[in-house]
């Protein structure tokens, strides 16, 4: 874990969220990359990413669609979904997903979840 910092990509159309999430992740020692839409993320490629956090309600490609596309390319990549719309959170496809947060989320929990996801991945890599 010390050899290199894990890179976390964040996709949200609200710049305040991008800022705050990047700040939080950086304060926890991760390298944060922020994207204002699914499109900009996909344009930059997914190879050097260790984790993806994406908003669901976005103009254009929404969070669910982005997850589908990314999973196709990087099935191993942990993806967290966050949303401010609670009715979306109540939907089944959101409920079933472990990495799902409602805004406003508990920052401590989010960081713990991120760490856990990355550790699991490393563990898998080691085995």
Q: Footprint of other proteins on this chain (CB under 8 A)?
A: 14, 16-17, 19-21, 23-24, 26-28, 57, 82, 84-87, 90, 102-108, 110-111
Region of residue 107 (left: phi > 0; alpha: psi -120 to 50; beta: else):
alpha
Shortest reach from residue 65's CB to other proteins, in Å? 19
Cβ-based nearer residue to other proteins, 48 or 106 = 106
4, 31 contact by CB (below 8 A): no
Shortest reach from residue 85's CB to other proteins, in Å? 5
Cβ-based nearer residue to other proteins, 49 or 83 = 83
What's the CA angle centered on 115, arms 125 and 73, to 5 degrees?
Answer: 55
* Environment class of 20 (CB within 10 Å of its CB; exposed 0-12, middle 13-18, buried 19+): middle
Shortest reach from residue 106's CB to other proteins, in Å? 7
């Amino acid at each position: 874990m010390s050899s290199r910092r894990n890179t976390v990509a964040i996709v949200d159309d609200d710049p305040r969220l991008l800022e705050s999430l990047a700040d939080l992740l950086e304060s926890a020692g991760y390298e944060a990359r922020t994207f204002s839409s699914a499109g900009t993320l996909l344009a930059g490629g997914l190879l050097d990413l260790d984790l993806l956090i994406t908003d669901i309600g976005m103009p254009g490609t929404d969070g669910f669609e982005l997850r589908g596309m990314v999973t196709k390319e990087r099935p191993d990549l942990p993806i967290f979904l966050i949303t401010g719309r609670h009715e979306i959170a109540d939907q089944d496809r959101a409920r079933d997903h472990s990495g799902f947060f409602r805004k406003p989320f508990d920052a401590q929990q989010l960081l713990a979840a991120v760490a856990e996801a990355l550790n699991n991945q490393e563990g898998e890599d080691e085995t």
